[in-house]
């Protein structure tokens, strides 16, 4: 069974996804740290 795309095209999809959403990943990690700090400090 032959796939409708090459391995290079498959990897390129992940590369584009990572470069597009990389800034959001940092934002979500910072938001998670902030949320944990609030939970710990308000006890």
Query: For the chain, what are the domain ranges?
Result: 19-43
Please tell me the distance from the alpha carbon of residue 17 to that of residue 35, in angstroms, as a whole number: 26
- pLDDT one digit per residue (tens) for the chain, 43 residues: 898 999 999 999 999 999 999 889 999 999 999 999 999 998 8
- The dihedral formed by the CA atoms of 8, 11, 13 and 16, expressed in degrees to the nearest 10: -110
pTM of the entire predicted model: 0.57
* pLDDT, position 43: 80
Separation of alpha carbons 9 and 16, rounded Å: 11
Reported as half-sphere exposure (CB side, CA atoms, 13 A), residue 24 has a value of: 5
């Amino acid at each position: 069974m032959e796939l409708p795309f090459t391995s290079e095209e498959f990897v390129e999809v992940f590369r584009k996804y990572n470069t597009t959403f990389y800034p959001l990943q940092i934002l979500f990690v910072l938001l998670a740290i902030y949320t944990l700090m609030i939970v710990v400090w308000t006890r």
